[in-house]
Structure 1
């Protein structure tokens, strides 16, 4: 076997690992005939298991479309998407957190998490322990009996994250989950998500408009061009991901330099 064949085989094994994502020459269009609109493509991306990939770009560049393709909510017009080595199936390929929490308002926090545990196939006898673990993981101890309309927007989003983690899917997809929140709550939840993914080792794909959020969260950042979205920049982030305070990280020179580089790339890609 040649060295190139060995490399290819190693790559194939890696992209079949639980939580890995492979996007091969994907193009996605909406509409038909003369009214067809190309939203994305062509895009080629490989996301190894355990990576925190952030997709960033201007509105309409195809970030959310790519996320829906990875989740299995849509199938690409051309090319292929593989999650853990297989075609993604909605509800099975990944846990998904949307911009809106999308909770059931007639249920308590406990009821919302229990419903997720039920659909995840967790035995009922294990619900109390798993629920307590999930709520503790997102900092919501003591809220089990509260209705969703009795808690803040930030707490509602934490419930949504706990619900997405319930199935223990190795992949977590987040579509601008903090966009509607105030700055302080947004920063706190960024820290929560960063901490949770570090502890669980899950792969994450996160969509945002914010260069600051992208640099804080990502171990890798992909900037997309304006529609149809293609890869304008693929940037590994080498900032420390553990044993460092959030304020120290945000205040570092390296963070500022990376934020400026990503911001410039987003503006350039939108203007091209």
Structure 2
């Protein structure tokens, strides 16, 4: 498989002098095209920092980050979904998706066809004409995902997009996102605190240590990506075993004291 993301000997330091804090690294990892990588660990372990480096929002203090062999540039090569949807409230749901398609330089006739397709993909076919403030928080996050899928970027980066949602909505969106990524062929890097979310979503789970974040566990999940109902998947003995393994790694990594 082709590497979608290559992180090589990366370190990241915030501040200078005596106030400098090493947030991440050294860390190296390769994300293969079409895979779903989940980064999990305790608060402050560098998960979101690593995601921002991959997105190109920040540059590493040391080492290199490459997307498809090139240095990342914000807004190019990767679509990003944040914890808050960051939609335009003066536009309709369909208008927000249309704007993303315009930025992707999709011609108007093609945009008219793709808007309902994208909203259907995230289960929002019946709210295209509503304003974003007229729909629920879970629906707003679905719009953010549809907007991220609107471009041609093969890489999708998500920074705890479901953290602020209630448990039921969060579970439903996990199921929807898992299906969308599995059927779209996109590469995904997803940040979470939740062990269950990591195992359910990921084809691969990377656990980071406490600051400075380093890789404590790199695990191929190996569960079926399609064709199994979510409740049946969560009931599998293999699922419980993976949860236990990742959970223990997260606890141990949070307690680890680095030199």
Q: 1:110: how far off?
A: 1.1
Q: 1:187: how far off?
A: 0.7
- Tell me how far apart the structure 2 counterparts of residues 177 and 255 of structure 1 sit (CA, whole Å): 23
Q: 1:122: how far off?
A: 0.8
The C-alpha deviation readout for 1:48-96, integer Å capped at 9, x for no partner, is 1001000000000000000000001111010000001100110112111
What residue is the counterpart of 1:203 in the other structure? 187
Aligned: 1:171 with 2:186: no
Aligned: 1:132 with 2:116: yes
What residue is the counterpart of 2:98 in the other structure? 114
Aligned: 1:14 with 2:14: no
- Tell me how far apart the structure 2 counterparts of residues 134 and 88 of structure 1 sit (CA, whole Å): 26
Aligned: 1:260 with 2:249: no
Tell me the TM-score normalised to structure 1 length.
0.93
Q: 1:25: how far off?
A: 0.1
C-alpha RMSD of matched pairs (Å) = 0.9
- Tell me how far apart the structure 2 counterparts of residues 85 and 124 of structure 1 sit (CA, whole Å): 32
What residue is the counterpart of 1:28 in the other structure? 12
Q: 1:230: how far off?
A: 0.3
What residue is the counterpart of 1:181 in the other structure? 165
The structure 2 residue matched to 1:87, chosen from 59, 64, 71, is 71
What residue is the counterpart of 2:39 in the other structure? 55
Preserved contact between residue 72 and residue 93 of structure 1 (Cα < 8 Å)? no
Tell me the TM-score normalised to structure 2 length.
0.97
SS at match of 1:60: coil
SS at match of 2:118: helix
Which shows bigger deviation, 218-227 or 109-118? Answer: 109-118
Aligned residue pairs total 256
Q: 1:168: how far off?
A: 2.2
What residue is the counterpart of 1:141 in the other structure? 125
- Tell me how far apart the structure 1 counterparts of residues 60 and 105 of structure 2 sit (CA, whole Å): 29
- Tell me how far apart the structure 2 counterparts of residues 261 and 14 of structure 1 sit (CA, whole Å): 28
Which runs of no fewer than 5 residues in structure 2 stay unpaired? none
- Tell me how far apart the structure 2 counterparts of residues 147 and 213 of structure 1 sit (CA, whole Å): 30
Aligned: 1:157 with 2:157: no
